[in-house]
A and B are shown apart, each in its own frame.
Chain A
Amino acid sequence: MKQIKDILERYWNCETALEEEKALRAQFLNGAAPEEVKNAQAAFLLQDRLAKEKADPTFIRKAMKAAITSDEQKQRNKISFSQILKVAASVLILISLGIGIQTYYRQAQFMEALFPETFTDPEDALQQTRIALDKVSSSFSRVQGILDIISPEQVADTLHSAIQDHSK
């Protein structure tokens, strides 16, 4: 009896080892504790009651499954995001191509407006060019004829006087 009283006192003072506390608890739970120390029984009864509380097994199963499958959900989210990126990149490429094609055709139309092609047949174009050059050549010949009669200096003096008269 003295022994259990001593152990109990050391228990309250946190001087007991784990094994002593286990033995003490067992004595109180078995009803083997003497009357003198019976008032301490509630302390060990409560410890025993608290130690028997359990988590809901259904909840535990669900929680473990949720933890293990959490990675799969993460992977699924990652995959769908990368798929979105791929689709977005494809759309961007298509848009760029469209803009490029549109720009090319607009440029072509612009050039067409600036330099319209009036001849479809190259032979016709050559013939017309020869006629135009002949006209230019005959014009040069008439000028040369005039220069044979009047010297270039005289032409220049006449032009100079005309300009001076005009400016007055």
Chain B
Amino acid sequence: MKPDKKFINTILPITDKMFRLAASITGNKQDAEDVVQDTMLKVWQKREEWNAIVNFEGYCLRSVRNIALDKISLKDNQLESIPDFFDPPMESQTDPLEIEEQLEAIEKILSNLPEKQRTVFQLRDVEGLSYKEIEQIMNISEEQVKVNLFRVRQKIKKLLKS
């Protein structure tokens, strides 16, 4: 199969996933598109190595993450992580929040998380990847994947229970 056809057939089904991951790391659509474009170029330029790649989706998502991290470090992104012990203040502990308000509150928590926690949440809870796949994409151990995911889920649980 010609490289360009293979490229299209393989990468097209995962472009949305790539975009979502890039957006979760960079925090905005424009940067996410730039990251996806750069990733496609990088993957295309390394087409000689495609035959050696076992998990192409993982390879692409890993590239997305690396390029997105470079982008946010270049921009000196101000999405600094809030220390784990920080709890976002609630207006009232007794009044239940409407679903939309809850969704907004969760999104706000997510946007303030360290990149590793945001990415683990995105790959597991949004994209439904296994711990093994996440391990390979993020180049961290399965244990670290679980630790980061645990911290995210506990924050969300605490928010919703309050």
Chain A contact residues, CB within 8 Å of chain B = 11-14, 18, 21-22, 39-43, 45-47, 49-51, 53-56, 59-60, 63-64, 66-68, 70-71
Contact = CB atoms under 8 A, between A and B. Distances in A.
Nearest to B152: A14
Contacts of A71: 44-45
Nearest to B157: A12
B153 to A, nearest CB: 5
A64 B11 CA distance: 9
Interface majority SS (helix, strand, loop, mixed), chain B: helix
A156 to B, nearest CB: 100
B103 A46 contact: yes
B12 A18 contact: no
23 contacts: A11-B153, A12-B153, A18-B128, A21-B128, A22-B128, A42-B102, A47-B125, A49-B103, A51-B126, A53-B20, A54-B19, A55-B15, A55-B18, A55-B36, A63-B36, A63-B40, A64-B11, A66-B40, A66-B41, A67-B37, A67-B40, A68-B7, A71-B44
B73 to A, nearest CB: 22
B33 A42 contact: no
A168 to B, nearest CB: 103
Given A54-B16, A59-B36, 16 more contacts: A11-B153, A12-B153, A13-B150, A14-B150, A18-B130, A22-B128, A40-B157, A41-B99, A42-B102, A42-B160, A43-B160, A50-B126, A55-B33, A63-B40, A68-B4, A70-B45
B106 interface: yes
B4 A45 contact: no
Given A64-B12, A67-B44, A68-B7, A42 B99 contact: yes
Given A54-B19, A55-B16, A43 B130 contact: no
- Contact size range, B: 35 or more
Contacts of A53: 16, 19-20, 23
For B8, B18, B19, the residue with the greatest tally of chain A CB atoms inside 10 Å of its CB is: B19
Interface in B126-162: 126-128, 130, 146, 149-150, 153-154, 156-157, 160-161
Interface in B1-47: 4, 7-8, 11-12, 15-16, 18-20, 23-24, 32-33, 36-37, 40-41, 43-45
A46 B149 CA distance: 16
Nearest to A60: B15
A-B pairs with the 7 shortest C-beta distances? Answer: A55-B19, A42-B102, A67-B44, A67-B40, A63-B37, A67-B41, A50-B126
A147 B54 CA distance: 117
A35 B70 CA distance: 45
